[in-house]
């Protein structure tokens, strides 16, 4: 069965500190992995996807198939990074799009 696990409901860090939001998945095939972000009073939007290997707003995420992880990282957190972050998994074979429970990131001044 497809599953996405985000173990932390809340992560608080100080401005300028490194950030790592954890995501683990279970899927037997080759999934597409994504990170979505929801800022206050805004709709959910894509932050990045593993296939593009981009850095967006200073965030990066590496797919580790051995550990079935897709952790989101940023070396220096900014206050504007405070938001809800969701890890998601999709697969072209099943069409389903599954999300984790989300991690709320609070960046403290």
Partner 1 sequence: DVKVTQSSRYLVKRTGEKVFLECVQDMDHENMFWYRQDPGLGLRLIYFSYDVKMKEKGDIPEGYSVSREKKERFSLILESASTNQTSMYLCASSAIGQEAFFGQGTRLTVV
Binding site for partner 1 (CB under 8 A): 6, 9, 32, 34, 36, 43-46, 49, 86, 88, 90-92, 95-102
SS3 state of residue 91: coil
Torsion-angle region of 95 (φ positive above 0: left; ψ -120 to 50: alpha; else: beta): left
Neighbour count for residue 20 (Cβ, 10 Å): 12
């Amino acid at each position: 069965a497809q599953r996405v696990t985000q173990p932390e409901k809340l992560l608080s860090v100080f401005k300028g500190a490194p950030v790592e939001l954890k995501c683990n998945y279970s899927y037997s095939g080759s999934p597409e992995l994504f990170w979505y972000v929801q800022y206050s009073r805004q709709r959910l939007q894509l932050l990045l996807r593993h296939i593009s290997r981009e850095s967006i707003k200073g965030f990066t995420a590496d797919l580790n198939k051995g550990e079935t992880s897709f952790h989101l990282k940023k070396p220096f957190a900014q206050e504007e990074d405070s938001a809800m972050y969701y890890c998601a998994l999709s697969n072209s074979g099943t069409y389903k799009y599954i999300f984790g429970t989300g991690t709320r990131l609070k960046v403290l001044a």
